[in-house]
Amino acid sequence: MKKKTSLKDIAERVGVSTALVSYVLNNQKEGRIGKIVSEKIRKVALELNYRTNHVARSLKTNKTFTIGLIVADISNAFSASLTRIIEDAAERSNYTVLFGSSDENTARSTKLIDILLNHQVDGFIISPTEHSEGEIVYLQENEVPFVMIDRFYPDVAASYVGIDNHKAAFTAVAHLLENGWRRVGIITYDTPLYHLQERTRGYLSALNQHGIIVNQDWIKKVGVYTTGNEVHLALDQLLHLPEPVDAIVFASNTISTFGLKYLNTSQVRVPDNVAIVSFDESDASELFYAPLTHIRQPLKEMGELATKILLDSIEKNGGIQQFRLEGTLVVRKSSIRQDQ
Amino acid sequence: MKKKTSLKDIAERVGVSTALVSYVLNNQKEGRIGKIVSEKIRKVALELNYRTNHVARSLKTNKTFTIGLIVADISNAFSASLTRIIEDAAERSNYTVLFGSSDENTARSTKLIDILLNHQVDGFIISPTEHSEGEIVYLQENEVPFVMIDRFYPDVAASYVGIDNHKAAFTAVAHLLENGWRRVGIITYDTPLYHLQERTRGYLSALNQHGIIVNQDWIKKVGVYTTGNEVHLALDQLLHLPEPVDAIVFASNTISTFGLKYLNTSQVRVPDNVAIVSFDESDASELFYAPLTHIRQPLKEMGELATKILLDSIEKNGGIQQFRLEGTLVVRKSSIRQDQ
DNA sequence: AAAACTTGTTTAATCGATTAAACATAATCG
DNA sequence: CGATTATGTTTAATCGATTAAACAAGTTTT
């Protein structure tokens, strides 16, 4: 790589000190700098195509204008959409995003956070994995600004932005029940992650409230890293119970996509044989032969809010802020009886 | 944010110079450093939870172990998959990724590259937009290591990794023709981007070679930023020609997704009324009622190769490398006559 | 025993920008 | 007119790590 021009190069060329060049290019000491010199400096800077070396600036100012983003998996539509929103929001405030995919793996997540800390990011937006409390608490103890997004630990007093998952799941299941479905199953993750626990609890409480006794066989859990087989198996089991379920809730877009692909190749018809409601939307929601009823998370709001909270906390030392936004039930064909 | 421990802190605590601490923690001067001191340094570093300040290191070494990635739009499945692959490949070599979405917008792309240059990234992987040659040439002139991915400028002698788009399109159309379809339309972008031009040329040459006279009305172009309306319109036009097309090539996964969503709500049946072949796969390829025949790009290979070329170029000053890999035609239901 | 290594550690310059404080000169005031 | 203020610019320390070169003290070689 070619040698880059530095403040010194400009200073020498103009015949002034680097301090002056710095003041001019940063529009500091306004009104105190000679017009002729100031213009000359700008001209030379342009000629030499000067660009400020952020590394040097950061070292001195102790600020990198960089935020670390840890998502579950950037190649997943949910993570990718959030990432894009955060990218844009960050850019508007002149921040750049360093990111990493945790793959729902605690060790990997810890490693990523470490790497990004070494890179001196000014703060983090994190979608934490299960068992990452340790790292989160570590950040907290070291007063590193951060915001959790989508997921959070109820026992950790830190900022987060997510939806009210209990309510969302409740709404989804209530909707199924109101449409005449009775034996509602759920496929979720086998994980202690609070936001997913909440979904299960919401599911249970909706059934309870409608006086339906839940059969434990209706609740299927798959690994957070599942590549689909477990989802297929879970579906098969739910649909082949002595008394099969007549509706299923998919607790995430990943589960939903695997599920739909499988259903798409099977004899089971949606919603004739089984109704489906899912969390999160994706192309799948619209492209499946029976467009999918789903809970839409307000991604834009979540991403922008998380970024705002983080930047506040970085720049003005804003305190802890916790937001539980509302998910919206988007009703499509997959949950509505066709024979009515 | 709490004050972080520096080499100096450790040095003071142990009672040695920072130089020695640096040597120990970087495993340099092996065999020349006293065992007791060395162990003490490591111990104290651990106790104080020392993490090397990459900003300071980078300033001195002129290397950030950071690569800049410019994709079209991180929230698009194609970009996101590539990004994930590049992330992993980079991480294996201890690089972190700073990224940005160009939105197919030249100004934005230029701005992003500038920002990342200021951040002193060691190199770039870029999916260039139309009219970004200027910026690309600028990088070249300044000997900034970079690799173009997916797209490239045929006239710029720089490294790139993509597929042979002409051949891929040719293969896709030949497949349609061999399956008895005759009036093949294409929906592509209205852009000078070479890789898309190649797709159109491949399409034309396959038709030509089969002695089919192409009607210009078969070729529809939509804006690179289309939100779908143009795709809908193009589809309507193709399907309502005096002699409608009987097959359509979608030149990208975005077009394909918009197209399928629209077809999904229309009376037209795939492949009975119209066959579909698309570039790139997505969940859409499998979830559409008629699973989609498509050209699969070897994303993993592309991303890993691009990263390798870039790192070679950063670390060993490797020269220009250009790769045109092969796309694979994945045959599914959408292109095969059902009445045969 | 002087010269030549070994081993272990420190000194000090450096990367490029920032910025408080100092300095110099001109303009204004009482 | 001497003091004060305004204007314009420089000095020099600093951020934290790296690293060539110097240094010191012990060992070996001849």
Q: What's the burial of B144, exposed, middle or buried (CB within 10 Å: 0-12/13-18/19+)?
A: buried
Among residues B229, B169, B224, B161, the alpha carbon closest in space to that of B199 is found at B169
> Quick one: A132 and A202 in the same domain?
no
Strands B219-222 and B275-279: unpaired
> Quick one: B155 and B171 in the same domain?
no
> Quick one: A243 and A316 in the same domain?
no
Nucleotide nearest to B63 (CA to C1'): C15
Torsion of CA B52, A160, A300, A275, to 10 degrees: 120
Question: Across the interface, do B54 and A101 touch by the CB < 8 Å criterion?
Answer: no
Among residues A281, A255, A252, A337, the alpha carbon closest in space to that of B261 is found at A281
> Quick one: A185 and A282 in the same domain?
yes
Nucleotide nearest to B59 (CA to C1'): C15
Looking at the DSSP assignment, which residues form a beta bridge with residue A123?
Answer: A67
> Which of strand D's nucleotides are less than 7 A from any protein C-beta?
7-12, 14-21
> Quick one: B178 and B266 in the same domain?
yes
Q: What's the burial of A215, exposed, middle or buried (CB within 10 Å: 0-12/13-18/19+)?
A: middle
d(CA B104, nearest CA chain A) in Å: 14
> Quick one: B17 and B80 in the same domain?
no
**A46 sits within 7 Å of strand C by its CB:** no
CATH code of A31's domain: 1.10.260
Omega before residue B271 within 30° of 0, cis: yes
pTM: 0.96
Length of chain B equals: 340
Residue B44 in any domain: the answer is yes
Question: Across the interface, do B51 and A114 touch by the CB < 8 Å criterion?
Answer: yes
> Quick one: B216 and B304 in the same domain?
no
Count: domains in chain B: 3
Residue B140 in any domain: the answer is yes
> Quick one: B25 and B76 in the same domain?
no
Per-residue pLDDT of chain A (340 residues; tens, 9 = 90+): 889 999 999 999 999 999 999 999 999 988 889 999 999 999 999 999 999 999 999 999 999 999 999 999 999 999 999 999 999 999 999 999 999 999 999 999 999 999 999 999 999 999 999 999 999 999 999 999 999 999 999 999 999 999 999 999 999 999 999 999 999 999 999 999 999 999 999 999 999 999 999 999 999 999 998 889 999 999 999 999 999 999 999 999 999 999 999 999 899 999 999 999 999 988 888 889 999 999 999 999 999 999 999 999 999 878 999 999 999 999 999 999 876 4
Label residues A23-44 b or e (16+ Cβ within 10 Å = b). bbbeeeeeeebeeeebebbbeb
Output DSSP code: residue B178.
H
> Quick one: B157 and B128 in the same domain?
yes
Residue B318 in any domain: the answer is yes
Nucleotide nearest to A34 (CA to C1'): D8
> Quick one: B107 and B139 in the same domain?
yes
- For residue A78, give Cα distances in angstroms to A75, A221, B80: 9, 20, 11
Please list every residue in chain A whose beta carbon sits closer than 8 Å to the beta carbon of residue B144.
1-2
Label residues A271-299 b or e (16+ Cβ within 10 Å = b). beebbbbbbbbbbbbbbbbbbbbbbbbeb
Label residues A172-203 b or e (16+ Cβ within 10 Å = b). bbbbbbebebebbbbbbbebebbbbbbbbebb
d(CA A82, nearest CA chain B) in Å: 8
Question: Across the interface, do B87 and A99 touch by the CB < 8 Å criterion?
Answer: yes
Question: Across the interface, do B142 and A2 touch by the CB < 8 Å criterion?
Answer: yes
> Quick one: B281 and B220 in the same domain?
yes
**A56 sits within 7 Å of strand C by its CB:** yes
- What is the C-alpha separation between B83 and A83, in angstroms, rounded? 12
CATH code of A202's domain: 3.40.50.2300
d(CA B82, nearest CA chain A) in Å: 8
Of A73, A283, A289, the CB nearest to B289: A289
Please list every residue in chain B whose beta carbon sits closer than 8 Å to the beta carbon of residue A53.
59, 118, 120
Residue B2 in any domain: the answer is no
Specify whether the CB–CB gap between B262 and B231 falls below 8 A.
yes
Specify whether the CB–CB gap between A312 and A318 falls below 8 A.
yes
Among residues B147, B192, B226, B116, the alpha carbon closest in space to that of A91 is found at B116
**B118 sits within 7 Å of strand C by its CB:** no
**A219 sits within 7 Å of strand C by its CB:** no
Question: Across the interface, do A77 and B77 touch by the CB < 8 Å criterion?
Answer: yes
pLDDT (tens digit per residue) in B74-109: 999 999 999 999 999 999 999 999 999 999 999 999
Residue A57 in any domain: the answer is no
Residue A118 in any domain: the answer is yes
What range defines the domain where residue B23 resides? 7-52
| Alpha carbon distance, N-terminus to C-terminus of chain A | 70
> Quick one: A42 and A104 in the same domain?
no
Residue A58 in any domain: the answer is no
Residue A265 in any domain: the answer is yes
d(CA B211, nearest CA chain A) in Å: 35
Q: In what order do the strands lie in the sheet with B275-279?
A: B219-222, B184-189, B247-250, B275-279, B293-296, B328-330
